[in-house]
Amino acid sequence: MRSEISPDGQPDHGQGRKAGRGRSVIEKVRRAQIIEAAIEVIAERGFAKASMAQIAARAGVSKGVISYHFAGKEELIARTVEEVYEGLGAFVASRLAGQTGTDAWLRVYIGSIATYMADHRPQLTALGEIFTHARTDAGELRYGIASSEPLYAHVESVFREGQQRGELRAFDVRVMAVSLQAGIDDMFAYWSAHPEHDLMAHAHELIDLFWHATRADGQAGHAAKA
């Protein structure tokens, strides 16, 4: 899973939001129903085997109804990713509000993402399938490393501000931002492959790892238990 939300908890996945504007309540409810069905089918059958017919059947509608609300599978997938990240982003943002200091940011940022996904395994599984298999017309991964550029920039800014406040030691903020996101992605990938794995314990170890790797000498705070 590419955990592409900005440090303030807002989704940052490169998708527009124009599609949701001006729609009636009934239309929004129907679209949400179809997106939920898409998540369930993709999580259960995998991205390649998830057909529009199967999604329509799961949603209890015809393929024509899906076509009315979405231009095709590509748009449905894009809106599905957007929907999941909006929920995740709102959850993380509510917990980041009022937090100060890089140690608190690391604890809340990593910990709240893990907490949310622990309660939303189908969404996590579906995102993993989409990010692994969804491709552009040119055959490139639609949600590859390039799509994470805005996220890396945001995380860089958090680390850079921590350095300026004297909380963090000198290091390459881009390398640390990429490494942090890779650690989060791999945490979810491992948990998906090993459901018995303790996700929250993993998250706390990751928090502690990056706090010790980034903190300046004399910063004795323990982010994992802050």
Measuring CA to CA, how many Å separate 145 from each of 41, 68, 148, 161, 182?
A: 26, 32, 5, 24, 10
What is residue 148's DSSP assignment?
Answer: G
Q: What is the pLDDT of residue 160?
A: 97
**Cβ-based neighbour number of residue 80 at 10 Å:** 23
Delineate the domains of the chain, giving CATH numbers in brackets: 15-84 (1.10.357.10), 98-226 (1.10.357.10)
**Residue 190 confidence (pLDDT) above 80:** yes
pLDDT in tens, 132-147: 999 988 888 888 888 8
d(C-alpha 1, C-alpha 224), whole Å = 22
pLDDT in tens, 35-72: 999 999 999 999 999 999 999 999 999 999 999 999 99
